[in-house]
Amino acid sequence: MSLLQLHSHFQLRNSSTRFSRAVASASCVCSHQSVSTPKSSKVDRLISKFKSNSLNFALSGTLALAVAFSGVGFAEAKVGVNKPELLPKEFTTVIDVAGFLSDGQEKRLAQEIDSIEKDTGFKLRVLAQNYPDTPGLAIKDFWQVDDRTIVFVADPTFGNILNFNVGETVDLDIPRSFWSRLAGKYGNMFYWKEKGEDASVEAAVMAISTCLREPVGANNCAEVK
């Protein structure tokens, strides 16, 4: 599966930018710390701005995934894709255009996603793809993506198979470090090549489910389970 590359209209929220642009393909989520001196604050803001740009996940053609979780890099940008013809005829929370999941796996994931939404109010949506074979930007309207939506794009094009677009409200409750730890544990190339792409997707969904159900606080989602 390849990373979703779209020129879209939503992105990860940071301290100064609302969730209003598309997510580019990067799977690193980084947090920033506040500092006390004016000079340090300025540097911190610049670092935060740089990181937020690198955090534009799966729905834009302006960035491509090139992230090792010890740092942030950039790969060659890919052209945005919009192929509504690849969308299923009926609504589903799991779209697998890459053929990584069996029918039974898709059903189990859809059931878990329904349970998450009922219990937490957050909407998880899963797209498995191989860029450029992807519905791309068309999933935004198909899924009615909003600030309570997590778009999980499973695409191994740049090595790590787990990529996320996180809505503003989700970003307020879930530490950004959770997403990088999740991708580092279940998305790395060694894991999905040994276990299979489907195993990475299933493990990630269950870890997200566990995280979203934890009480919001200083230590929520501290572990990827």
Confidence band for 212, pLDDT divided at 50, 70 and 90: very high
For residue 57, pLDDT beyond 90: no
Residue reference for tokens 């989602």 = 221
Predicted pLDDT of residue 225: 83
Instruction: Tell me the pLDDT of the chain averaged across its residues.
Output: 74
Among residues of the chain, what percentage have pLDDT more than 90?
A: 60
Domains of the chain, each with CATH number or no CATH: 38-213 (3.10.310.50)
- pLDDT greater at residue 130 or residue 46: 130
Mean pLDDT, residues 18-22: 32
Mean pLDDT, residues 41-59: 41
This prediction has a pTM of 0.70
Predicted pLDDT of residue 78: 57
